[in-house]
Amino acid sequence: MGLSGRHFLASTDCSAIEWHQLLDLAAAFKAGQARVHLDGKVLGLIFSKASTRTRVSFAVAMARLGGQTLDLNPAVTQVGRGELVEDTARVLSRYVDALAIRTFAQAELETYARFSSVPVINALTDLEHPCQAIADFLTLREAFGSLEGLTLSYVGDGNNVAHSLILAGVLLGVNVRLACPTGYGPDPAVLDRAQAIAGDGATVEVLADPEAACLGAQALYTDVWASMGQEQEAGQRLRDFSGYCLDQHLLSLADPEAIVLHCLPAHRGEEISAGVMEGKASRIFDQAENRLHGQQALLASLLGSGV
């Protein structure tokens, strides 16, 4: 695949062809048809933010590939006492074969990558969540067979998850619509980047009206309204996002075969209704499972030989 030894910091670190290859490999792992061995390889996890799916899926994926995972919790390492990222990256990359980092600033992640001699993986920053996007588009492909020309509608905050959906979506030929309240849209620089790489292919639209965004879409997606680090804004966001709950009404406007996605954790009754989350259109827990298969594909591609 040509990903061996590379960093995975953003959705655009992979070409369109490489994205399709990642999804192919993830599907093969899920079907039990891929065999890649990373015996003796060690993945280090540096997570400055809480995590369930990302932490567990990376650990299990590495174990299934024959490797090991080392939890480098900042609270019990010198990272939490202010050791320079530059020094940490240079030391740890002499011990482990890859680093998966979950932090706040994209710039910190990029500093790790600049000083690391092993692959650095974006396990979530405030700017992007590209590992989540692998699972998202794998789930969408499972439902419809092909991604080309599908429309994915995202309702909610234009956050890191939305950014990765936009960028990976245009690379994969998926039209992405976003419905965001005023002041909560995606980063304009992300939109500019998406438009530049989309060319005459997939489209990206940002709307204020969730009904217009959901009309005829093949997938409806949402996320929590207050991400990690924004807890103090939760009350204001609850008011500002009134009318943006992914409920049965919005689902009724989508394609009759539409699926519902959510990256979890979910707040039923806020960004998504309990009925929609538990309804027949929901693929949310398939999507969560696909984090494991997506992580296997990514680790095998970055650390394996001949993949």
Residues comprising the binding site for L-ornithine?
Answer: 160, 223, 227-228
Q: Active site includes 14?
A: no
Catalytic residue among 14, 126, 132, 180: 132
Q: Which of 163, 193, 291, 293 is catalytic?
A: 291
Active site residue 263: yes
Give the chain's radius of gyration (CA, Å).
19
Annotated binding residues for carbamoyl phosphate, written as ranges, equal: 51-54, 78, 102, 129-132, 263-264, 291
177 labelled catalytic: no
Q: Active-site residue 81, yes or no?
A: no
List the catalytic residue out of 14, 180, 245, 263.
263
Residue 76 near residue 56, CB atoms below 8 Å: no
- Give the annotated binding-site residues: 51-54, 78, 102, 129-132, 160, 223, 227-228, 263-264, 291
Of 102, 163, 193, 283, catalytic = 102
Structure tokens at 226: 């207050």
Q: Which of 126, 157, 223, 255 is catalytic?
A: 223
Which residue from 185, 165, 188 is spatially nearest to 175, judged by alpha carbons?
165
Is residue 223 among the annotated active site residues? Answer: yes
Which residue numbers are catalytic? 102, 129, 132, 223, 263, 291
